[in-house]
Structure 1
């Protein structure tokens, strides 16, 4: 009875928070459907059809898709390598001071969104896929480093301790005692983040980071809706294929 009463209190607080949020933000959903709003939305959506399927444009979309895949793959790989190195520090393998500094760095990397990193990298490295790759690598390194460190902290210490007592060095004890127990989890985290980075790589093009996102931004800016529709469909197909591939790899290696 006490738990039910507490649950009702929490539900009432959540409902009150939602009502307060609507009031604070002054959201007016009635205005969305008032006047000719629906007609304008329908007219704009209809302008995207039929998509542009000309050979030259599809060829450009194919190259843009490859560029987006390359940005996400290289960014994720760099992030996994950096995250693995930082996770050793963040898990306390090299002392308390190194642990605190590594955790502070990981928090800083992942607290800054990819779009902000991309804007900074565009200023530093110029427009193009290099800026997008660096932006994905920096943010994802913070995410993966934290996840890798938690996996190391939860790894059973028995195998490593046994190897150390048998005379193995710290590197050998880690490689043969700890790493085999966390490697599958690390790979699963990396593949999941690669899925997310595929979508984000497409978005980063809006700040000039290359790939399909940049093509979508240009076509929308020039009011070329049929071409934009083709880019959106290419994004959808690419994300579905990568999601299926990543899920299959996680099942096989998990």
Structure 2
């Protein structure tokens, strides 16, 4: 009799666990179904499920592909200068973004922001900069300061602040509290707490984010040339306007090679900072 009484709660607990597990699975299946429905509706709205349209467009893509080969590298000497401009824009834009993101990141992190008002304002600034595409910023800065690399650097830098600052703030918020509390207990000022309690923990993440953003900015800087901000994008747009598709493919291959080199350099720098 005693064994039956002691076994009953165990049985009840097992049933509760199974019921909770079944409930969790049903909830997960419902979430998957909702996401799948949203994806299918999006595919339908954008024409991705229009088989006739896709089928009729494939031959045109094939014809365009054949016109782009073989690539024409006859003007490769003329591309060296624009490639250097593109590299310079990406480095300068990333440096500007990191310089502005450092203070904004600390102000937008809950554990280092002075108060809630500054925290919210900093978050709004980051969201605003992140929501404006760099291409739109490029057009605005070209109209403001004229053609050349300067509007490209400003567009890449300010747009990058929105994302880099957000990642910086999240890294700061995830910093381990023990070193921060120990620094505060020693009577350190707020700046000393940041320098000795927070920054040593988050520096590797800061370096990773900066390198990743440099890779992105190099690719984005090729687009800046399309709005008059200099770089290899200007050569690409010129070839497209002339319908010189062999030269277009050559420029794209050069950009691909440069992106690969930048990616390798970025990986080497990230490994060095770890």
- Would you call these one fold, judging by a TM-score over 0.5? yes
Q: Is contact 1:76–1:193 with CA below 8 Å preserved after alignment?
A: yes
Q: Is contact 1:118–1:132 with CA below 8 Å preserved after alignment?
A: yes
In the alignment, structure 1 segments of 5+ residues that lack a partner are none
1:179-194 to structure 2, matched below 5 A, reads: 179-194=199-214
Alignment counterpart, residue 29 of structure 1, candidates 28, 51, 54: 51
Q: Is contact 1:89–1:99 with CA below 8 Å preserved after alignment?
A: yes
**1:93, CA displacement in angstroms?**
2.8
2:127 is aligned with 1:107: yes
Output the TM-score relative to the length of structure 1.
Answer: 0.90
Where 2:229 maps in the other structure, the secondary structure is: coil
**1:23, CA displacement in angstroms?**
4.2
In the alignment, structure 2 segments of 5+ residues that lack a partner are 1-21
Show the counterpart of 2:235: 215
Q: Is contact 1:129–1:209 with CA below 8 Å preserved after alignment?
A: yes
**1:161, CA displacement in angstroms?**
3.4
Deviates more, 1:208-217 or 1:152-161: 152-161
Where 1:8 maps in the other structure, the secondary structure is: helix
Q: Over the residues paired in the alignment, what is the CA RMSD in angstroms? A: 2.0
Cα–Cα, structure 1 residues 111 and 47, in superposed 2: closer, same or farther, change >3 Å? same
Cα–Cα, structure 1 residues 158 and 218, in superposed 2: closer, same or farther, change >3 Å? same
2:118 is aligned with 1:98: yes
Show the counterpart of 2:154: 134
- Equivalent residue pairs, number: 250
Deviates more, 1:170-179 or 1:185-194: 170-179
> Whose Rg is larger?
2
1:1-254 to structure 2, matched below 5 A, reads: 1-27=22-48, 28-34=50-56, 37-54=57-74, 57-91=75-109, 92-254=112-274
Where 1:66 maps in the other structure, the secondary structure is: helix
